[in-house]
Amino acid sequence: METTYSADVVVLGLGPGGQQVAEDLAAAGVSVVGIDAELVGGECPYWGCVPSKRMARAAGALAEAERVDGLAGLADVTPDWTPVHAWIRDSATDDWDDRAAVERLEGRGATFVRGRGRLDGPRTVLVTAPDGSQATVTATRALVVATGSTAAVPPIEGLAGTPYWTNREFVQSPTLPPSMVVLGGGAIGCELAQAAARFGVDVTVVEYAAQLLALEEPEAGALLAEVFAREGISVRTGVGAQRVEHSDDGFAVTLSDGSMVHGERLLVATGRRVDLDTLGVATVGVDVSARSFTVDDTLRVVGADGPVDGLFAIGDCAGQGAFTHVAVHHARIVVESLRTVGVPLASNPISALPRVTFTDPEVGAVGLTAAQARAQGLAVRTVSLSLAAAATRGWIHGPGSDGFISVVESGGVLVGATSAGPTGGEVLGALSVAVQGRVPVAELRRMVWAYPTMHRGIEYVLAQLDTAEVTTSPA
């Protein structure tokens, strides 16, 4: 017999955003059913943000030890992946077991259904459990889709069927290989490549675009390429992978320029994808070939005939940025809308998206790049200064102080900014406030910036704006 469930709100997908929606609404007395086929908590705590940042922390400690010579004495450190993996396995992920997360969810009052869900209209989900049994889950008020994204695997000749890694296999591996080819020079590829290299792996990064971190300012990619070269990481930009061969000796990857790179392991880090097709989105009027859901400012799904009443999408599948902080931001909006019957839907569109690549140096960015701003028809002024030139702290810091601060100004306010350096993600906080709040540059210049800090470099960058050339996108 098929099992049936009914609740005020049904949440399909229990990553960071969906988990928060389910827990917060259940704690507020709303009846909730949460559905997920995988681990409650999603990619971030088990295979993404949390374990990868511990890797970055460990790799950074090794780099700092190497900087002791000439700065504070002499140091001799032997890298060992064992404690890194042990912390990830035992402390961070509970050996990839979500019992604690499920208990927390149910403790808040939600009902949890383990299985793979498929939409059957705007408020119904058909669920297939791991044992093959079926269930129908119906929402009386709203269905929130928070199914996240998965690693995008390109259709490269010979790749399918080989034991390639994505970030998941990398994170769960108790050992690192002697050599590795990384396909993809975005945030995930760069973070994992540098961590592996600092633990002794011979790493080659292959990026189809002309630069690393292709979505950020060109100087960010150039900075990382320079640092990677110093650390012995080979970087191949402007070429793609055409063919993959695997044997007992590892992987051989033929590139679009005819050259070949080799590694015992192949890490595919070519971005993330949202799989709408298997979600049954045609039943709610959404194109199955779309890259993500389209949502309005209240996060309602927009179908062929406009917003779908009672159907919301949050997080990666909403197409506004594949970041945990975006999913959590979305969750707060939806919870505000659904906590009380009869209240107007909350609206809070993202106008200044912050993001950080946790390499060394960290690369933080917010809002628009200069190219994106010009493409929108804005007349912009840009200024960029190295940390050594902009912040006395950069000069004091010495080894490991590679970085810069850059801003994009239009109409008297900052519309974008980048902060790269040893604390690039933290310096980004002040720039995010300025971009999000549209704080006038004149007001920012009147601020008192603490000395000697990295963030004080913002003051010096802003001081150069008056003499910067105004540029626009060519007609």
pLDDT tens digits, one per residue of 130-168: 999 999 999 999 999 999 999 999 999 999 999 999 999
User: Do 333 and 390 have their domain in common?
Assistant: no
92 lies in some domain: no
User: Do 445 and 396 have their domain in common?
Assistant: yes
Residue 426: per-residue pLDDT: 97
Residue 400: per-residue pLDDT: 94
User: Do 188 and 282 have their domain in common?
Assistant: no
Whole-number mean pLDDT of the chain? 96
End of a domain among 338, 364, 379?
338
Residue numbers of the domain that contains 253 = 167-270
User: Do 213 and 288 have their domain in common?
Assistant: no
Residue 80: per-residue pLDDT: 98
Residue 2: per-residue pLDDT: 81
425 lies in some domain: yes
* pLDDT score of 226 more than 90: yes
- Tell me the average pLDDT across 105-109: 98
Residues 16 and 42 sit within 8 Å (Cβ to Cβ):
yes
| Count of domains forming the chain | 3
* pLDDT score of 390 more than 90: no
240 lies in some domain: yes
* pLDDT score of 338 more than 80: yes
pLDDT class for 342, splitting at 50, 70, 90? confident
End of a domain among 252, 270, 288?
270
User: Do 321 and 389 have their domain in common?
Assistant: no
Residue 417: per-residue pLDDT: 98
CA distance 143 to 313: 9
- Tell me the average pLDDT across 223-243: 98
User: Do 369 and 225 have their domain in common?
Assistant: no
User: Do 331 and 453 have their domain in common?
Assistant: no
Residue 228: per-residue pLDDT: 98
CA distance 452 to 176: 39
CA distance 24 to 46: 21
Residue percentage of the chain with pLDDT more than 70: 99
* pLDDT score of 428 more than 90: yes
End of a domain among 239, 270, 301?
270
159 lies in some domain: no
154 lies in some domain: no
Q: What angle do CA 36, 42, 44 make, to 5 degrees?
A: 175
User: Do 118 and 18 have their domain in common?
Assistant: yes
193 lies in some domain: yes
User: Do 323 and 422 have their domain in common?
Assistant: no
User: Do 132 and 188 have their domain in common?
Assistant: no
User: Do 282 and 266 have their domain in common?
Assistant: no
* pLDDT score of 70 more than 90: no
Q: What is the dihedral of CA 205, 211, 212, 217, to 10 degrees?
A: 180
CA distance 207 to 209: 6
pLDDT class for 350, splitting at 50, 70, 90? confident
Residues 309 and 284 sit within 8 Å (Cβ to Cβ):
no
Residue 1: per-residue pLDDT: 59
* pLDDT score of 403 more than 80: yes
pLDDT class for 473, splitting at 50, 70, 90? confident
314 lies in some domain: yes
- Tell me the average pLDDT across 98-108: 98
- Residue 13's domain is classified under what CATH number? 3.50.50.60
231 lies in some domain: yes
* pLDDT score of 31 more than 80: yes
- Residue 455's domain is classified under what CATH number? 3.30.390.30
* pLDDT score of 475 more than 70: no
User: Do 248 and 176 have their domain in common?
Assistant: yes
The letter for the amino acid at 419 is S
Residues 313 and 304 sit within 8 Å (Cβ to Cβ):
no
